Structure 1
Amino acid sequence: MSDTDRADALLADLPGGGRGRLKVFLGAAPGVGKTFAMLQAAQAQRRQGVALRAGIVESHGRAETEALLAGLPQQPLRRFDYRGLRLAELDLDGLLAARPKLALVDELAHSNAPGSRHAKRWQDVLELLDAGIDVYTTVNVQHLESLNDQVRDITGVQVRETVPDWLLQDADEILLIDLPPRELLERLRDGKVYVPEQARAAIDAFFSQTNLTALRELAMHTAAARVDADLDRRYRQQGQEAPALRGRLLVGITGDEQAQRLVRHASRVAERRHLPWSALHIDTGKPASETARAALQAAQQLAERLGGEVVLLRADDVARALLDHARERRASLLLVGHRGQRRRWRRGLAERLLQGAGTLEISLLGSDTEAPRTPRARTGWRRRDYLLAMGAALAAAALSLGVSRVLELPNISLVFLAAVLLVAVRSSLWPALACAGLSFLAYDFLFIQPTLSLSIRREEDVLTLLFFLLMAGLTGDLASRQRRQLQALRRTQAETGELLELSRRLTAATDRQAVLSAASQQFAQHPDVAICLLGRDADGKWQAPAGEHPPLAEQERAAADWAWRHEQPAGLGTGTLPSGRWWWLPLSGDGQPLALLGIAPHDGQPLSAEQRRLYAALGQPLAQALARAQLASDLEAARLHGETEQLRSALLASVSHDLRTPLTAMRGSIDSLLALGERIPPADRRELLEGTRDEAERLDRYIQNLLDMTRLGHGGLKLMRDWVAPADILASALQRLRPVLAPLRVELEVAEDLPLLFVHAALIEQALVNVLENAARFSPAGARLRIGLDADEGELRFAVADQGPGIPAQERDKVFDMFYTASRGDRGGQGTGLGLSICLGMVGAHGGRVSIGDGLDGRGACFTLHLPVHPQPPLEDE
């Protein structure tokens, strides 16, 4: 055996990630002592200090059972008023809030009162297990879903409350509580099971010696199958060879009363042979009655509850489709129902399967009931089909009479064949055969000698009519079959096309909102249902990211909450809060719910199995797209976080250098003045003070740049516009930078009659200061620095050209990025890389832009601030 198989077997015994453990006390019938044994085990756990709570225990008035309840903490029951009755049920929410280590839940197969969260008590147990709470529970063997038919055959009683077999298969421990039938009957007569009146009725109806013996055998078989499975797993844990994989079991079902019996039998066989199994239905395209569709849907739902896979195929040849699918899935056993064939002239399904099976094992499950005719759908459109057949035959007869003088007699038959073909294409086989029969009679009556009579004189005319009838029947059958295949192909193509269209829409969606919007647009193509997509906000409240939030009643909201928490369908047509009008399907990815798909049929009827599979199929690419959008969002957040950390590091590194340099110079000058005082010549003392002032101004500019960049990034920079002369802004900037520009030859080119600017003067001045300072830092001493100021219609320009090292064309867009710096020819040392970025932000806030060109004499760079010119204000009279 492989290491993987051994690892799986070892992992099967490990605790399931916080999931509770389930112990089932299994009995053959009521009264064998299951509850008594469960309470004895609970008392032993209590003496060991285990925190436990009795959720619900049905003592049925038995004194010895009630005595064992003493000392056990009990969870108060919930009370329901239903049709004048006061019902008591398990308080699931109370148990979940108390969170004991162990909970006692009697009668696993019990049906909860209407209004409960779950329809069945075993679903309450599953929720307790998911919450990490261990559960002790009891169940009788007649409540197992796969044994329902056998129990009915044994006892004559149809058990309505059932438990899916997979629940017991997944149980951590099953304890068989056995009592010989003779002792159980004695307990029943003594009133230890039911009150005397009920005991006499139970003995007569259910608790006979034969019934109890048969039920006891079923209970032992069930426990023995579990022992076999445990033994098989133990062998695999030790690394020894386990039984080889035997493939898969397929069971073919149709819409008849035998379908559920077949499914239950398949479940039992699959459990005994340790096989995965599938319930397979072949849709041939033939119309089915409402009864047949309901029976098929019930069988498919039963297969899902029993742990099987439901498969729907569309084909015309049932036997060939079953065999082909069995080969594709590498199945080893095919199970089908078998009844006497009504058509002796046609080979039955079983015979065709046996002929083409090869090495595949074919199992036929017979029926002891008479095979009834499958009711056909009798609807108005079928009556119209037969009217069409009659009309086509009459039209063909009239047309043939019209052309009989022109065409030969053999050619006239082609007119009737065309009518039969038309009916077959437009309807189905039987209307086509009806048209063929009518055409046969019309052909004989109108054209075969003697005319206007059904008698035939010549033998060759008999052959002609027989060949005509044969060709008409074959043509009609072929056309009808092609029509059914075409309809099935269209349905399949429609489903495939919808999946492809949804995938195409989702591929173009880049974020969660776009994914949900694309899905809402796709689902809007289903007019017979109301569809919504819900998500959770930060506070845990439901919201509709795409579309309108539907009004949800309290029960609908509870079903949605449960589906979200447990990642399982809930609501209409399920076992969890089924009385609502919405069916909720969670869309999950990476072990967490991403969205909730809600479907509400307008007719209020539960969705069929085929509809639920379609929406589940549509939900898979939607869940994947949501997971992809979530991953993209997480990656973007991580990228932004990384860039933020990088910017923070760059800012700290740059600021620590550029702030420390002026502070160091200022501190040195001040220390010199304090240490030497009057001994420093006045000229040197003045130079030290001026240097301190210049470094303080430089420090002030750095801090101002940082503050301006912060305000620009957070939208806190307010524009206080006013009319100002551009020459005044230039003069103020030059005055502020007089020491910085002193080593350069500054040239001014200011045009005359410049318009006024409607700007925040301080911001534009700061932008111009940043550009001038940048040009001064990169220009060598004694270089030219030309400042131009001109305007034309709609735009005013500040141009600053230098003779520095220049900026390559590929880097001109980068110089406006935050913290981007260059050192070519920088006389002033490395800067913060914020000046030009702030300049661009300030000019852009006024609706302007910044451009970069070539500098003076083919050297350096030219920065130009482009500002819009507004209509000039009227001049005031002096």
Structure 2
Amino acid sequence: MTDPKRADALLAELPRNGRGRLKVFLGAAPGVGKTYAMLLAAQSQLRQGVDLRVGIVETHGRAETEALLAGLPQQPLLRSEYRGIRLAEMDLDGLLGDPPQLALVDELAHSNAPGSRHAKRWQDIQELLAAGIDVYTTVNVQHLESLNDQVRDITSVQVRETVPDWVLQEADELQLVDLPPRELLERLREGKVYVPEQARAAIDAFFSQTNLTALRELAMQTAAARVDADLARRYRQQGGEAPALRGRLLVGVDGGGNSERLVRHASRVAERRHLPWSLVSVETGASRDEQTRLGLQNAQQLAERLGGEVVQLRGGEVARTLIEHARERRASLLLVGRSRQRWYRRLFGGGLAARLLRLGDGLEISVLDSEAGKDSPPPRVRQQPAHLDYLLALVAAASASALAWGVAHLLELPNISLVFLAAVLLVAVRSSKGPALVCAVLSFIAYDFLFIPPHFSLTIQREEDVLTLLFFLLMAGLTGNLAARQRRQLQALRDTQEETGQLLDLSRKLTAATDRQAVMVAAAQHLGDRADMEICLLGRPHGEWKVEAGVQRKLDEQERAAADWAWQHDQPAGLGTGTLPGGAWWWLPLSAEEGPLALLGVRPLDARALDGQRRRLLAALGQPLAQALARAQLAEDLEAARLHGETEQLRSALLASVSHDLRTPLTAMRGSIDCLLALGEAIPAEDRRELLESTRDESERLDRYIQNLLDMTRLGHGGLKLSRDWVAPGDIVGSALNRLRTVVAPYRVETHVPPDLPLLYVHAALIEQALVNVLENAARFSPPHGRLRVAAEQVGEELRFSVGDEGPGIPAHEREKIFDMFYTSARGDRGGQGTGLGLAICQGMVGAHGGRITVEEGIDGRGATLVLHLPLQSQPDLDQLDAGN
């Protein structure tokens, strides 16, 4: 093994992302001393100075256990009442609010009181581990989910409280607490496990020598499997090659009564062989009764709890579909249940197992017997097709008989059977296999009764006619079966196409959405079309839930708690899950790499939990939705970054201009005022008036600089927002010319602003300031009494303001440089006060709106024209604007 791989193996031993370490004390049965061993370990940790706290420990009145519990810091329990019974549960929020280094949580498989955040205590432990808290816990082997049916076979007791096997597999340490059965029985008789009355009942019902020995073996096997996994990991850390995975295990289920048993067996086999495994179900298009659908859903949920992958396929033939999927996934083992052997299955190729054996060359196929004697599955409800389908079979057989009778004088006897075969084929295509077989039987009888001598009798005289009828019945059955199978395949393809169409439709709608709100609205419209559920999409701006699309309803306390947990842990919560399942909504986080972006809420109108297929479909639809939200978030971040860059550049230019653009008007004003103060009445009235007018012009110029500086500085710091509003281009031009009336008075100003131009959605003051700066720049470079042309026009999806002059113009090689800070050109500048910052500031103003500035030729080929390009938005409803005003 290379050094990087060895380093990776060593790093895998470290706590993952600050996650706590889990130590499990495993026992074969109650009373072996798991809690006692856990408290002994805790006392040792306490003496070493570890900050620990007892979350919950069940002593069951055992004196030696209570003695060890004394002296350990304890978290107060939460008390509640349920149906008149006082219950005490662990205070999960108390431990999370003041987290210890180590928490003791007894009975891993315990079911929490109704109304708790999590349905099971092992889920509480997972949350403690995620918070970085180490946990000691205990569990008996009979509570492992994959061993549930095996324990029931051994003890004849169905264990209701179970723990997914992956919880133990992810434990950092597993300690087997073992006690020989004889000693455990002795402790039981002495009252050290239960009180005497309970002890006698326990010995009779559960604690027998045989049962305890079998449970002890299961516990040792579980610990041994864990030791093998630890040994392989340690071997890799020492530089050896880790054993490679040997393919994959697939378990095929159909929702029958044996499905859950099959899943548990598959989990145990996969663990022993160190194989990844998947549960596979094949949808052929045939309808399933409610009991079968519920059985399939339970099996899929069980597989998810046991750490398996759930896969649902569509196909016309179950065996061929399973084999093709096994080869695609490079599976080495296929596990199925034994189907009931019926005569027609033998006739048409045997059951599922027989077909798998014929098709699965090179694939190990295991068939698990249903063990009907021990675990009789519930009788399968035979699916009764609609009465109209059977009526169609009867009508088709009668019509075929009438048609055959009408053409009997034209066709030979063997050809008449083709008429009946056509009727069987028609029924099979339009309905299912059952009505097709009924039509075949009716056609068989009619063919014999009407056309086989002696006529109008079921008696057959010739031997060859017997073969003819048998071959007809065989062909009719095969034809009907093939046609029905093709119809199921067609239905399966239609279902697949519908799901794919939903994904494509949603993706198409999301592609057209440009911002978060548009994404939310498109998703709500697509998902809200379902009549059997309500949809809402939640966002969490500033830490508070907000319904951004879908059903607008206020969340109650329970739903808010489920939504908070789903957001914080990036896992589904609520209805049908193990976390806060008492609510009416199922919450699915829509997450990107950085975490949840929104929360999808689904409330079935029938108040029943969503089945596995619907949950997977919604999860599949949630993936493009989350990607669209991430794309919208990225677009907003990029726009904010671009705006920040533009405004930061503008702010820097403005701050640098303080020592330049502000000094010039201040110097001119100070000179005029000094002259007036020094000379006073000695200055002629006309000169005094000229000095005062110069002071006024310079003060107005200074006022424009200061206003520009203040606005842009606040914009650069985020204090000034783009307060956009709808404004007419003519209003902006008129206001800019009015502000510069004294500056442009010596020139001939031409304006071309059509009255029917579309409205701009901009910060009007900023665009006006940009236009003022460009006009002032044009005036500085224009000759005395020259022309200035101000125009506005719509070109495509943008509106352009252009300001032209008759000055010296700007050479082509300098047109890009004039927007750089401190770049000046002295050609034709009559003012002489420029610092080269005005156009850079204008570019920042326009750029903040997503626009740009370009340079073109001036009036009649002389001078230069500066063009401000601003994007146009979709025009508003004029009635709404009037109402807003």
Shorter-chain TM-score bucket reads: 0.7 to 0.9
Structure 2 residue aligned with 1:430: 434
Q: Residue 479 of structure 1 aligns with which residue?
A: 483
Tell me the distance in 1 between the aligned counterparts of 2:403 and 2:379.
Answer: 37
The answer as to 2:194 corresponding to 1:191 is: no
Question: Is 2:554 the counterpart of 1:554?
Answer: no
Partner residue, 2:52? 52
Answering whether residue 419 of structure 2 is matched by residue 415 of structure 1, we say yes
Tell whether the 8 Å contact from 1:705 to 1:838 is kept in structure 2 after alignment.
no
- Given that 2:653 and 2:837 are in contact with CA atoms closer than 8 Å, whether structure 1 keeps it comes out as no
Q: TM-score by structure 2 length?
A: 0.83
Structure-to-structure mapping, 1:597-612, within 5 angstroms: 597-612=600-615
Structure 1 residues 446-845: aligned runs within 5 Å: 446-538=450-542, 540-663=543-666, 694=694, 697-698=697-698, 700-707=700-707, 773-779=776-782, 784-786=785-787, 803-806=806-809, 824-827=827-830, 828-831=832-835, 834=838
- 1:268-302 CA deviation, whole Å, 9 max, x = no partner? 22222222111111223333322222222111111
Partner of 2:112: 112
Aligned 8 A contact 2:653 2:841 in 1: no
Q: In 1, distance between residues paired with 2:614 and 2:768? A: 69
Cross-structure match for 1:23: 23
Q: What displacement does 1:465 show?
A: 2.8
Distance 1:14 1:764 in 2: 58
CA spacing shift, 1:402–1:359, aligned 2, 3 Å: closer
Normalised to the residue count of structure 1, the TM-score between the two structures is 0.84
Q: Matched residues in 2 for 1:169 and 1:763: separation?
A: 64
Unaligned runs of at least 5 residues, structure 1: 720-725, 751-761, 791-797, 843-849, 866-878
Q: Which stretch shows the higher mean deviation, 252-261 or 33-42?
A: 252-261
Conserved 8 A contact 1:248-1:277: yes
Q: In the alignment, what sits opposite 2:863?
A: 860
The one-letter code of the counterpart of 1:570 is A
Shift of 1:806: 3.2
> Which whole-Å CA distance do the structure 1 matches of 2:128 and 2:321 have between them?
43
**Shift in CA distance, 110/151, structure 1 to aligned 2, threshold 3 Å:** same
Instruction: Report which of the two structures shows the higher radius of gyration computed on alpha carbons.
Output: 1
The farther-off stretch of 351-360 and 729-738 is 729-738
**Partners of 2:578 and 2:366 in 1: CA distance:** 32
Distance 1:810 1:466 in 2: 96
Deviation at 1:656, TM superposition (A): 3.1
Describe how 1:184-333 pairs up with structure 2 within 5 A: 184-333=184-333
2:724, 2:9 → 1: CA distance?
Answer: 66
The residue identity in structure 2 corresponding to 1:202 is A
Shift of 1:529: 1.4
Letter in 1 for 2:458: L
> Would you say the 8 A contact 2:316–2:489 is kept in 1?
yes
Partner of 2:396: 392
Q: Does the 8 A contact of 2:789 with 2:805 survive in 1?
A: no
Q: What do residues 210-256 of structure 1 show as CA deviations (whole Å, max 9, x unaligned)?
A: 21121111111111111111111111122212212212111122222
SS in structure 1 of the partner of residue 535 of structure 2: strand
| Contact 2:280–2:311 (8 Å) recurs in 1 | yes
CA distance in 2 between partners of 1:716 and 1:592 (Å): 31
**In structure 2, distance between residues paired with 1:763 and 1:252:** 68
> Residue 369 in 1 paired to residue 377 in 2?
no
Paired position in structure 1 for 2:85: 85
CA contact (8 A) 2:790 2:804 kept: no
Deviation for aligned residue 1:364: 2.8
Partners of 1:391 and 1:669 lie apart in 2 by 112
Give, in angstroms, the shift of residue 372 of structure 1.
7.3
Partner of 2:43, secondary structure, is helix
Cα distance in 2 between the residues matched to 1:766 and 1:124: 61
Range with bigger deviation, 763-772 or 446-455: 763-772
For residues 254 and 119 of structure 2, the distance between their equivalents in structure 1, rounded to whole angstroms, comes to: 27
Q: 2:766, 2:398 → 1: CA distance?
A: 94
Report the Cα distance in structure 1 between the residues aligned to 2:739 and 2:531, rounded to whole angstroms.
Answer: 71
Alpha-carbon RMSD across the aligned residues, in angstroms, is: 4.4
The code of the aligned residue for 2:513 comes to A
Per the TM alignment, residue 308 of structure 1 is displaced from its structure 2 partner at its CA by 0.4
More deviation, 609-618/623-632: 623-632
Query: Are 1:663 and 1:695, in contact at CA under 8 Å, matched by a contact in 2?
Result: no
Cα distance in 2 for residues equivalent to 1:26 and 1:460: 74
Structure 1 residue 690: deviation in Å?
A: 8.0
For residues 674 and 593 of structure 2, the distance between their equivalents in structure 1, rounded to whole angstroms, comes to: 65
Alpha-carbon distance in structure 1 between the residues aligned to 2:554 and 2:803: 64
Task: Decide whether the 8 Å contact of 2:665 with 2:702 is kept in 1.
Answer: no
Percent identical pairs in the alignment equals 69
CA drift of 1:747 comes to 7.2
Inter-CA distance 222–836: structure 2 relative to 1 (3 Å threshold)? closer
> Residue 447 of structure 1 aligns to which amino acid in structure 2?
F
Alpha-carbon offset, residue 536 of structure 1: 0.9
The one-letter code sitting in structure 2 at the alignment partner of 1:224 is A
Count the aligned residue pairs.
821
Provide structure 2 residue ranges, at least 5 long, that are not aligned to the other structure: 713-719, 727-732, 752-764, 792-800, 847-852, 869-885
Q: Aligned partners of 2:510, 2:38: CA distance in 1, in Å?
A: 53
- 1:107 and 1:243 map into 2 onto residues whose CA distance is 34
2:243 is paired with a residue whose SS is coil
Separation in structure 1 between the aligned mates of residue 252 and residue 162 of structure 2, nearest angstrom: 23
Aligned in 2, Cα 1:802/1:497: closer, same or farther, shift over 3 Å? Answer: closer
Match in the other structure for 1:870: none
Secondary structure of the structure 2 residue equivalent to 1:282: strand
Distance 1:170 1:101 in 2: 19
Secondary structure of residue in 2 paired with 1:81: strand
Check the 8 A contact 1:111/1:161 in 2, yes or no.
Answer: yes
**Secondary structure at the counterpart of residue 521 of structure 2:** helix
8 Å contact from structure 1 (residues 50, 101) kept in 2? yes
Tell me if structure 2 keeps the 8 A contact 1:287–1:376: no
> Compared with structure 1, are the counterparts of its residues 500 and 3 closer, same or farther at alpha carbon in structure 2 (3 Å cutoff)?
farther
Supply the AA of the counterpart residue of 1:785.
Answer: G
- Greater displacement, 333-342 / 663-672: 663-672
**How far has the Cα of 1:819 moved from its partner?**
10
Q: State which drifts further: 828-837 or 188-197.
A: 828-837
